[in-house]
Amino acid sequence: MLGTYYTFPELLLWIPLLTGVIVFFIKNSKTVKTFALLSSLATLAVSVISLCYSDVAHNPEYLVYSNVSYVWMPYIGASFSVGLDGMGFLLTFLTAFTLPLIFAATHKREYANANVYYGLMLLFQGGLMGVFIAMDALVFYFFWELALIPAYFLCSRWGGELRIRVTFKFFIYTFISSLLMLIGIIYVYLHTSPVSPLSEHSFYLKSFYNAALSTSEQYGVFWLFFVAFAVKMPIFPFHSWQPALYEQAPDSTVMILSGIMVKMGIFGMIRWLLPIFPGAVEKYDTLVITLCVVSILYASCIALVQSDLKRIVAWSSIAHIGLMGAAIFAHNETSLQGAIIEMLNHGINIIALWIVVDIIEKKTGIRKISELGGLALKSPSLAIFFLIIVLANIALPLTSGFVGEFLMFTGVFEYNKWLAAFACISIILSATYMLNMMQKVFFGVSNSLTENVTAISTGQKLVLSVFVIAIVTLGVYPGPVLHLTQGTVTDILQSFK
């Protein structure tokens, strides 16, 4: 034993936040990059070590064991309490695991004001970590908003031509919905029972779970939370900020946005929405799943006719997220397990996909799939990596995508056969648009635009290999991950009994 493990959830938070602030004051852009990479590696190390202690995740009392709690605002019943359960372990690991890879993949890129860029990236990571480890509603909300701020600046300063417009839309969208959630949090807060004599109510997670909300109150407040999470995910019809933002955001930011930030919404649904409003979830589940299925099919259809690489990836992401939403609202063991493991798998897949898309864009300068072609001749290893990532994305067995989708579909099927059947059409559509992209970009003969493309560098090969190994490992042997999150799922499902 490495002594007490109480500090791990905290370290995951403070390392990126502190180093993020320090990076602002470093002038040399080379040093900035190295420092940011080191910082993210340190976070990864902490995350990996904390996984060694993940046994607590199976203990129903995990909230007591791995919880760090400071007095924060005792008179309103808010404490700065953070902790890790199985799902928390998984998502903090995803965040810690992908960030060094993102930094490594974009290492060659020069950003104006690199110190600010990397500082914001690390703060972004800190905010995300905070969301995943929060055990207190106010802390959760605090980090929820904190994560938004670096995202806003990253996109609006380093993005593409239309960045201001698009980022503004994104900001307003998510900010308004977050405020709705704040109202919801306060409403639930007012119905909680105290945990200390200093205040009448409490923001503590378990107090929220046990809040005395009548069914009719649940029906109303449910939507306040739901909209906040649905916008972040996003689910149809709250998605319109997403494709444009993904198109405009700078390369490494979009990887975090699509790989990790959207998981905040899914995570929030599992951690906060389901256990607090079981009555409302049971009332509205069919409605929400229908919405999610519409989201899946709608996004898949639109992806079919997109010609921009980034847009295809963005819409495919919406389709996948829709499935996760449907699985969450099917609220049975299988579907929830599927949704949780898919958060990890989708994070890894989509970031890998963005890295390849980014490499293609940087090598050729174009994103239109009709203008590309023949890249497999010019860079065979890139084609192989891309193929494996695409296969994971269309959930081929023995890649990571399959396990999550299989469980989610099984769970949704258990809930309702027809909804599952409609959602399942996406496996046909996703194969269509993904393979179409594969063919247009990599196969065929090269044209004047792709004539001078060179093979990818060893560094890029290494980064992509890590992703591919993760994809295959998770696809062949997902047992440990499922085992890790079992406790969380059991815990959440208890509120439905």
Partner 1 sequence: MINIFDVAYLIPLFPFLGFLINGLGRKVISKSLTGMIGSGVIFISFCLSIIVFLDVSREGFIPQNIEYFSFINIGKLNIPFEFQVDQLTSLFLLIITGVGFLIHVYSTSYMKEEDRSGYGRYFSFLNLFVFSMLLLVMGGNYVIMFMGWEGVGLCSYLLIGFWFKNNSFNNAAKKAFIMNRIGDFGFILGIFWLINSFGTTSYHQLFNTATGIPFLVTTKNSTVLTGISLLLFLGATGKSAQIPLYTWLPDAMAGPTPVSALIHAATMVTAGIYMIARSNILYTMAPFTMMVVAIIGLATAIFAAIIALKQNDIKKVLAYSTVSQLGYMFLGLGVGAYSAAVFHVMTHAFFKALLFLGAGSVIHAMGGEQDIHKMGGLGKKMKITYVTFFIACLAIAGLPPFSGFFSKDEILAVAFSKNPLFYIIGVAGALLTAFYMFRLLALTFAGKFRGTEDQLHHVHESPSAMTFPLICLAVLAAIGGLVGIPGVLLKNGDRLGDFLSPVFADSNKILAANTTSPQTGIVLMCVSSILILIVCIWAWKKYKNYDGSTKEAGAFTRAMQNKFYIDELYELIFVKPLKVFSGFLSNVVEKSGIDALVNGVGKGINYSSRQIRLLQSGMVGSYILLMVVGLLLLLIIQLFTK
What is the per-residue binding string for partner 1 in 120-159, x denoting contact by CB under 8 A? ----------------------------------------
For residue 187, what are the contacts with CB-CB under 8 A and spacing of at least 6? 217, 221, 224
The residue among 123 and 323 lying less far from partner 1, judged by its C-beta, is 323
- From 19-27, 248-256, 264-272, 400-408, span contacting partner 1 (CB under 8 A): 400-408
Q: Are 291 and 421 in contact (CB under 8 A)?
A: no
β-bridge mates for residue 67, sequence order = 83
Binding piece for partner 1, criterion CB under 8 A, among 69-77, 85-93, 188-196, 432-440: 432-440
* Sign, Cα dihedral of 173, 176, 178, 180: negative
Count interface residues toward partner 1 (CB under 8 A): 55
**Strand (E) or helix (H) holding 70:** strand 67-73
How far apart CA 108 and CA 294 sit, in angstroms, is 40
Residue 286 C-beta: closest distance to partner 1, Å: 17
Residue 206 or 483: the one with the smaller Cβ distance to partner 1 is 483
- 432 binds partner 1, rule: CB under 8 A: yes
Rounded to 10 degrees, what is the CA torsion of 18, 23, 25, 27? 170
17/492 with CB nearer partner 1: 492
Query: Please, which residue, 272 or 409, has the CB nearer to partner 1?
Result: 409
Closest approach of Cβ 233 to partner 1, in Å? Answer: 15
CB of 427: closest distance to partner 1 in angstroms? 6
Rounded distance, CA 179 to CA 187, Å?
12
Stretch that binds partner 1, among 23-31, 188-196, 440-448, 455-463 (CB under 8 A): 440-448
> Least CB distance from residue 417 to partner 1, whole Å?
7
Whole-number minimum distance, CB 473 to partner 1, in Å?
A: 13
CA distance 155 to 174: 14
Exactly one of 10, 333, 361, 371 binds partner 1 (CB under 8 A); that residue is 333
Tokens at residue 312, please?
């295809």
* 13, 81 Cβ separation under 8 angstroms: no
In the region spanning residues 167 to 226, those forming contacts with partner 1, defined by CB under 8 A, are 169, 172-173
Picking from 373, 382, 355, 364, the residue whose alpha carbon sits closest to that of residue 437 is 373
Cis-peptide, bond into residue 234, ω within 30° of zero: yes
Residue 230 has which token pair?
């649905």
* Span near partner 1 by CB under 8 A; candidates 90-98, 153-161, 231-239, 275-283: 231-239
Q: Contact, 328 vs 263, CB < 8 A? A: no
| 379 contacts partner 1 (rule: CB under 8 A) | no
Q: Which is nearer to partner 1, 218 or 349 (CB)?
A: 349
Letters for 234-273 (x = contact with partner 1 by CB under 8 A, - = none) are --xx-xxx--------------------------------
Closest CA to 150 of 170, 135, 136, 134: 170
Q: How far is the CB of 244 from partner 1 (least distance, A)?
A: 9
Closest CA to 157 of 107, 114, 99: 114
Pattern 406-425, partner 1, x by CB under 8 A: xx-xx--xx--x--xx--xx
- Contacting partner 1 (CB under 8 A), which of 195, 377, 449, 472? 377
Candidates 302, 348, 441, 456; binder of partner 1 (CB under 8 A) is 302
In whole angstroms, what is the distance from residue 430 CA to residue 301 CA? 9
> Distance between terminal CA atoms of the chain?
37
User: Which CB atom, from 10 or from 333, has the smaller least distance to partner 1?
Assistant: 333
- 181 or 297: CB nearest partner 1: 297
Residue 397 interacting with partner 1 (CB under 8 A): yes
Could you say which of 34, 69, 149, 444 contacts partner 1 (CB under 8 A)?
444
CA-to-CA dists, residue 185 to 180, 200, 205, 322, 410, angstroms:
9, 15, 11, 25, 33
Please identify which residue in the block is written with the tokens 């995951």.
12
DSSP conformation class of 204: B
Which residues, in sequence order, are bridge partners of residue 193? none
Choose the binding region for partner 1 from 69-77, 153-161, 304-312, 355-363 (rule: CB under 8 A).
304-312
CB 315 within 8 A of CB 246: no
Min dist. Cβ of residue 386 to partner 1 (A): 13
**What's the rounded Cα separation, in Å, for the pair 373 and 449?**
9
* Least distance CB 316 / partner 1 (angstroms): 13
Least Å distance, CB 432 to partner 1, is 5
Residues 6+ positions from 477 with CB-CB distance below 8 Å: none
- Amino acid sitting at position 404: G
Q: Is 256 exposed, middle or buried (0-12, 13-18, 19+ CB in 10 A)?
A: buried
Q: Give me the residues that bind partner 1 (CB under 8 A), please.
A: 169, 172-173, 236-237, 239-241, 298, 301-302, 304-306, 333-334, 337, 374, 376-377, 380, 391, 396-398, 403, 406-407, 409-410, 413-414, 417, 420-421, 424-425, 427-428, 431-432, 435-436, 439, 442-445, 477-479, 482-483, 486, 489
